[in-house]
Structure 1
Amino acid sequence: MKTSKLFRAVLFDMDGVLVDSERYIAEAAIAMFRQTYNTEVDPKTFLPFVGTGEDNFISGVGKLYNISLTMPRDKERTYEIYEELVHGHLKEINGARAFVYACKRSGLAIAIATSADKRKMMTNLRELGFQQEDFDATVHGAEVKNNKPDPEIYLKAAQKVGIDPGDCLVVEDAVRGIESGKAAGARCLGLTSSFDAKALLAAGADYVAADLEEALKNPPPDLFQALGGFLH
């Protein structure tokens, strides 16, 4: 039986959780490979690297095509293209704002724990109309030594908000992100924006939903109880 211990904090991944950005960063990286290396890469080759930060996201695909990237130049070019693509077009994952503000109203601590660099994190927040100060803490990829699935990023986010990881709910869309949250000792809500429910559950997700709108409307009974009804 799953615990019904109340959560005291919610730790959000960003891409694929709060913001519908995964396709844009893939498009940006594809354009970078085309412009810089005259190579067309298959969008599907990025999937194993989703949620691990842009260094891995780009260089991992580069290795598949036997390309030795020049970093950070190629990453910065990818971010430049990304910013052009998302300006005025980036959308929230359904229910993201409502979920974040429900957490805030209930007094839960909230944090962002994203493998992306600060540049991309701030771009996403700006496009969604959030301020960094809307969150009690943020942790981005440059602040940790070990990428997901290592638990470092969620341990650091929990430390920043002053809450034991076991009292935190991690919200993730990636298999490696779920593995990271579970390794940190948190319970995890997996959103099926990047991976299907079967893959997220196999990675250890305690709960699964299509998006945060669904989590608001139809929370599993034990999740609703654990959150003390804050979803409504």
Structure 2
Amino acid sequence: MSQIKAFLFDLDGVIVDTAIYHYQAWKRLANELGFDISEEFNEGLKGVSRTDSLDLILAHGGLTLSDEKKTELAAQKNDWYLELVSRMSSNDILPGVATFFSQVRQAGLKTALGSVSKNAPLILERIGMTDAFEAIIDGTKISKGKPDPEVFTKGAAELGVSPAECVVFEDAVAGVEAGKRGGMFVVGLGSPDTLAQADLVAPSLESLTVETVLTACS
């Protein structure tokens, strides 16, 4: 019998895919600074905090800016991003998510969101999934971004369960590492080559059942 009591979910790439909106906003910023970023480069920003993403983009463009200017640019990018995500709706929930969450409820498992995004509550509200989580840990509640495990260990603590009783669902390398460092069973959603560190890898929640996950944990 599985000892698992809780499922902890990343938001981006697991429940919704706002990567395209992040890309559009970062690309606009890079273009205004006089250079460009590719979709391939943007892949490396997945699961990385806004501040660290900006540092990577500036390094890519060969720019060194003051902290004050960087704060201003990060805020500008976020404004552009929020313009895009404010138009989101339940139609933006990824395929299979509703069915999977229905199974999670039937199994009596606790749920938490573990996202480094400070916009996670807004996105959950827009897609109508705020009530799907008993705990919501976002960028405003943590001091360290992934791959530090803080976002998931705080989620477990808020749910009143131990890390060994948790399964983390992640699509990013940094997120998978965070879950593993937190002492949790990690399901990677995406490519087995990219997410080799995960305990179980599947293309998406659509291709999984709760039973499959619990069996893999036991």
AA in 1 matched with 2:101: V
For the residues of structure 1 that align with 2:214 and 2:45, how far apart are their CA atoms?
Answer: 32
How many residue pairs were aligned? 213
1:57 alignment counterpart: 53
For the residues of structure 1 that align with 2:76 and 2:121, how far apart are their CA atoms?
Answer: 16
Structure 1 length-normalised TM:
0.83
2:26 alignment counterpart: 29
Residue 127 of structure 1: how far off its partner (Å): 2.7
CA contact (8 A) 1:7 1:226 kept: no
Gaps of 5+ in 2: none
Aligned counterparts, 1:99-178, within 5 A: 99-117=100-118, 120-131=119-130, 133-178=131-176
For the residues of structure 2 that align with 1:87 and 1:97, how far apart are their CA atoms?
Answer: 21
1:77 alignment counterpart: 76
Post-superposition CA distance 1:182-227 (Å, at most 9, x none)? 11010011101xxx211212xx21111111111139x64xx34368
Partner-residue secondary structure (3-state), 2:8: strand
Partner-residue secondary structure (3-state), 1:200: coil
For the residues of structure 2 that align with 1:159 and 1:224, how far apart are their CA atoms?
Answer: 21
Q: 1:149 to 1:130 in 2, by over 3 A?
A: same
Partner-residue secondary structure (3-state), 1:182: helix
CA contact (8 A) 2:54 2:70 kept: no
AA in 1 matched with 2:31: R
Match of 1:182 among 162, 180, 183: 180
For the residues of structure 2 that align with 1:33 and 1:224, how far apart are their CA atoms?
Answer: 43
CA contact (8 A) 1:8 1:168 kept: yes
- Report the RMSD for the aligned CA atoms in angstroms: 2.2
- Matching of residue 46 in structure 1 with residue 42 in structure 2: yes
Partner-residue secondary structure (3-state), 1:138: strand
Post-superposition CA distance 1:12-63 (Å, at most 9, x none)? 011011111112111111112223x233222322222311222222222212
AA in 2 matched with 1:24: Y
Structure 2 length-normalised TM:
0.87
CA contact (8 A) 1:5 1:226 kept: no
Q: Give 4+ residue runs of structure 1 displaced > 4 Å after superposition.
A: none
- Matching of residue 206 in structure 1 with residue 199 in structure 2: yes
Partner-residue secondary structure (3-state), 2:31: helix
Which has the higher mean CA deviation after the structures are superposed, 140-149 or 182-191? 140-149
Gaps of 5+ in 1: none
Residue 84 of structure 1: how far off its partner (Å): 2.4
